[in-house]
Amino acid sequence: MAQIREIKKRMTAVSTIERITKTMQMIATAKFTSSLQRARATRPYTDSIRELVSRVAEACGDELEDVLINGVTGAEHRELILVISSDRGLCGAYNSHVLRTASKHLHSLEASGTGFELQISGKKAGAYFNFAGTDVAHRHQFGDKPSFDQVAEVADEMIKRFSAGEFSAVRVIYMRFESNARQIPEVMQLLPMKFNAESDAEADADTDSTATAATESGVVYDFSPSVDAILSELLPRAVKTSLFQAVNDAVVSEQVMRMIAMKAASDNAKGLGRTLKRDFNRARQGKITTELTEIVSGAAALE
């Protein structure tokens, strides 16, 4: 009787867990859908402004002197690292992948003698680095629905300190979202900005207020006012949008990995429930058989 009662208690507990994980899966699915829409809406603008900055920078050529691209001469040999994690758990390997990538990068900096200042977003990163004994200079809180103004404020502070020569580089460690089945932990260099070569066409810069750049299609664009004036406006905006896109990607990755983890937990709970139900039926049938055997044996003994 004790075994049957124990199995029944476990069946009730597993059924409750299944309902909870199913609910969490539905919530994560709803949050994933909304965060994916936000990330997809900002992606074309982010890519376009980075491409535009790349074109303008190519037009200036070797004469480009903007500190956000070339860095500050004589800057401290130190990096600013921003690690983006989640506030809550139950999202699979999301935090472990991001924090493992961050630890590997920090260890490489220590091995090379490069100093760093660590900033984080998310309670999980805070708990991890507290346990590891790593000092955290600042804790940001972006939440599930980060606003551009909130991220832009953080980016402005990074740009200000980088331009003052406090850091030789600013990097963001986050989970880049590629598809529902693929999320990649990435160390993105935010400053100084780097651009991939998208064209083999040559770019020329004029000495007056108009600069020209050639594109892959051979079309020549005229930039007015000067390249420096355009970059002074575009570069800070490109940094802000790149950081905002990274934060959005991190939120999408967190929600999709939580959705997958909760679905797996629900499926496992359902499978365990079926196993317990089978064990319960076997135990009950065994008890009934034992009682019938005892009754038959008692009746036979009275004959």
pLDDT at position 302 is 76
Question: Among residues of the chain, what percentage have pLDDT more than 70?
Answer: 85
Residue 66's contacts (CB-CB under 8 Å, 6 or more residues apart) are 57, 228, 231, 232, 235
When pLDDT is cut at 50, 70 and 90, the band that residue 296 belongs to is confident
CB 245 within 8 A of CB 46: yes
When pLDDT is cut at 50, 70 and 90, the band that residue 74 belongs to is confident
CB 121 within 8 A of CB 102: no
- Can you read off the two tokens belonging to residue 60? 């200036």
Residue 232's contacts (CB-CB under 8 Å, 6 or more residues apart) are 66
pLDDT at position 1 is 57
More confident residue, 98 or 70: 98
Q: 2-21+263-302 falls under which CATH superfamily? A: ATP synthase, gamma subunit, helix hairpin domain (1.10.287.80)
| Rounded-to-integer distance, Cα 214 and Cα 216, Å | 7
Closest CA to 160 of 150, 170, 174, 172: 170
Architecture of domain 28-260 in CATH? 3-Layer(aba) Sandwich (3.40)
Average pLDDT, the chain: 85
Whether the upstream peptide bond of residue 146 has omega within 30° of 0, thus cis, is no
| Rounded-to-integer distance, Cα 279 and Cα 8, Å | 10
217-233 pLDDT tens trace: 445 556 667 666 777 88
When pLDDT is cut at 50, 70 and 90, the band that residue 293 belongs to is confident
CB 36 within 8 A of CB 252: yes
Strands (E), 85-219: 115-121, 138-140, 169-179, 182-191, 203-204, 211-214
199-218 pLDDT tens trace: 333 333 333 333 444 344 44
What is the mean pLDDT of the segment spanning 154-163? 93
What is the mean pLDDT of the segment spanning 36-51? 91
Domain ranges in the chain are 2-21+263-302, 28-260
- Using the predicted structure, report yes or no on whether residue 298 has a pLDDT greater than 90: no
- Using the predicted structure, report yes or no on whether residue 169 has a pLDDT greater than 50: yes
- 3-state SS assignment for residue 77: coil
pLDDT at position 213 is 41
Residue 196's contacts (CB-CB under 8 Å, 6 or more residues apart) are 54
